[in-house]
Chains A and B, each alone.
Chain A
Amino acid sequence: DTGVSQDPRHKITKRGQNVTFRCDPISEHNRLYWYRQTLGQGPEFLTYFQNEAQLEKSRLLSDRFSAERPKGSFSTLEIQRTEQGDSAMYLCASSESPGHPIAFFGQGTRLTVV
């Protein structure tokens, strides 16, 4: 399977714990995006990378959230001191280049904070 891969698919954590999600984009895709989706809503943009550079962060991305893409390949999204409001689906997407119109999404990581 050469699509966007996300791991884990599901994560249950206790409030206050830290969690980290991984995204492997399609090979050689320069752009990588993170989105968050709550029930009944469309995905909300969190941040994106051009290669290893993080170029934009949404104001939704509080200080507890950090994302990296150290070698311009896979990316991680970490949430520190999780809160119940962080419960959501976290989606990763990649695209070939800045001007390419198509983004390919992974299946997401569903986070439940109890």
Chain B
Amino acid sequence: DAKTTQPNSMESNEEEPVHLPCNHSTISGTDYIHWYRQLPSQGPEYVIHGLTSNVNNRMASLAIAEDRKSSTLILHRATLRDAAVYYCILKYGNKLVFGAGTILRVKS
């Protein structure tokens, strides 16, 4: 399975931007990069995905390195409700393969 590497945890102040890094050096040319997040006691929730170009949606932005071996999820203004585990995922075949993710703590 294609692997991703993320920091175990990060901390941010409320109302400030957050950059969550992910390394995926074994990514293949056709692998999309997916980000999901999981709030406490909830199932994972889709955040964003991309292939080569940077992507924006109402929740976040995804910046993908030119060689595609790393990417960064950007939350433009963190709120307390963004405190969650963030997973960077490469879809393997027909399934999402999750790692341990990054625990994001947001301080008020």
Q: Is the CB of A107 within 8 A of B87?
A: no
Complex interface: chain B residues within 8 A of A25 (CB): none
Which residues of the other chain, B, contact A45 by a CB distance below 8 angstroms? 95-97
Proximity bits, B23-61, A CB within 8 Å = 1, else 0: 000000000101000000111111001000000000000
Contacts of B96 in A (CB 8 A): 33, 43, 45, 103
On whether the beta carbons of A56 and B94 are closer than 8 Å, the reply is yes
Tally of A interface residues using CB under 8 Å: 24
Verify A107–B99 contact, CB threshold 8 A.
Answer: no
Q: Which residues from A are CB-within-8-Å of B43?
A: 4, 91, 93, 105-108
Q: How large is the interface on B (under 10, 10 to 19, 20 to 34, 35 or more residues)?
A: 20 to 34
The distance in angstroms between the C-alpha atoms of A108 and B32, with both chains bound, is 26
Q: Are A42 and B49 in contact (CB under 8 A)?
A: no
Q: Which of B41, B43, B93, B101 has the most CB atoms of chain A within a 10 A radius of its CB?
A: B43
Question: Which of the residues A4, A35, A40, A48 comes within 8 Å of B100, measured between beta carbons?
Answer: A40
Are A44 and B95 touching (Cβ within 8 A)?
Answer: no
What sequence of 0s and 1s flags, for each residue 22-63 of chain A, a beta carbon within 8 Å of any chain B beta carbon? 000000000101010000111111001000000110000000
Query: Which residues of A83-114 have CB atoms within 8 Å of chain B's CB atoms?
Result: 91, 93, 98, 101-108
Chain A residues closer than 8 Å to B85, beta-carbon distance: 42
Instruction: State the CA gap A105–B96 with chains docked (Å).
Output: 12
Contact of A107 with B98 at beta-carbon distance under 8 Å, contacts A56-B93, A101-B32, A101-B34 already known: no
The closest CB in chain B to the CB of A40 belongs to B100
Chain B residues, CB < 8 A from A103: 44, 46, 96
A42, B99: Cβ atoms closer than 8 Å: yes
B residues less than 8 Å from A91 (CB atoms): 43-44
Please indicate the chain A residues that have their CB under 8 angstroms from the CB of B99 in the complex: 42
Some 26 contacts from A to B, beta carbons below 8 A apart, are: A31-B94, A33-B95, A33-B96, A35-B98, A41-B100, A42-B85, A43-B96, A44-B98, A45-B96, A45-B97, A48-B94, A48-B95, A55-B94, A56-B94, A91-B43, A93-B44, A98-B94, A101-B49, A102-B46, A103-B46, A103-B96, A104-B46, A105-B43, A105-B45, A107-B43, A108-B43
